[in-house]
């Protein structure tokens, strides 16, 4: 019996140790479950944050794509504007050169016109002088013809014309 009592006491002690171990493991299990629940909550929170960040990233990528497209369009328009400005600059340069050439031609034309006017006036004066000389020569020829006709000589029209030409030259 004593052996049984000892065995019962040993079993009781063993039972108490095991019960303490169970209580300790139950507390540890509770802590582990609480920790697991906290971690699951944190995972859920991080998952929500991750989803929000993915949505933000997607919107940012869409915005980047839109801005990149607009930038590309703006660069294309800028290049076209640069080409237009360059073309206008070249056209302006050509027009400026052409204008300078035309102004030079106008100056030359004015000089030629002034020279022509001077020559015309000179020719006009000479013409008046020649007409006066012609009139005097014709008068002299008429007088000459009258004198010689009065003396009985006759002159041919050819002789009179050649005589006038000689007198005028």
Distance CA 125, CA 121 (A): 6
Answer yes or no: are the C-beta atoms of 168 and 134 closer than 8 Å.
Answer: yes
What is the tally of structural domains in the chain? 1
Its domain, for residue 87, covers 2-168
Per-residue tokens: 124: 């006009």
Distance CA 164, CA 138 (A): 7
Per-residue tokens: 118: 């001077």
Q: pTM of the entire structure?
A: 0.41
Each residue's pLDDT expressed in tens, for the chain with a length of 169 residues: 788 888 888 888 888 999 999 999 999 999 999 999 999 999 999 999 999 999 999 999 999 999 999 999 999 999 998 888 888 777 777 778 888 888 899 899 899 889 988 988 998 888 888 888 888 878 887 787 777 777 766 666 666 667 666 765 5
Amino acid 168: pLDDT: 59
Distance CA 63, CA 73 (A): 15
Amino acid 60: pLDDT: 93
């Amino acid at each position: 019996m004593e052996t049984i009592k000892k065995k019962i006491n040993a079993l009781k002690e063993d039972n108490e140790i095991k019960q303490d171990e169970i209580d300790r493991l139950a507390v540890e299990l509770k802590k582990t479950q609480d920790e697991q629940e906290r971690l699951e909550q944190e995972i859920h929170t991080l998952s929500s944050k991750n989803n929000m960040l993915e949505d933000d990233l997607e919107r940012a990528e869409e915005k980047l794509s839109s801005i990149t497209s607009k930038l590309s369009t703006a660069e294309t328009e800028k290049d076209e504007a640069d080409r237009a400005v360059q073309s206008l600059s070249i056209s302006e340069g050509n027009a400026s050169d052409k204008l300078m050439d035309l102004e030079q031609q106008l100056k030359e034309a004015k000089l030629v016109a002034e020279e022509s006017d001077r020559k015309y006036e000179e020719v006009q004066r000479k013409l008046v002088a020649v007409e006066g000389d012609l009139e005097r020569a014709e008068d002299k020829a008429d007088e000459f013809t009258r004198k010689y006709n009065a003396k009985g000589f006759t002159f041919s029209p050819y002789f009179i014309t050649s005589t006038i030409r000689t007198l005028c030259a």
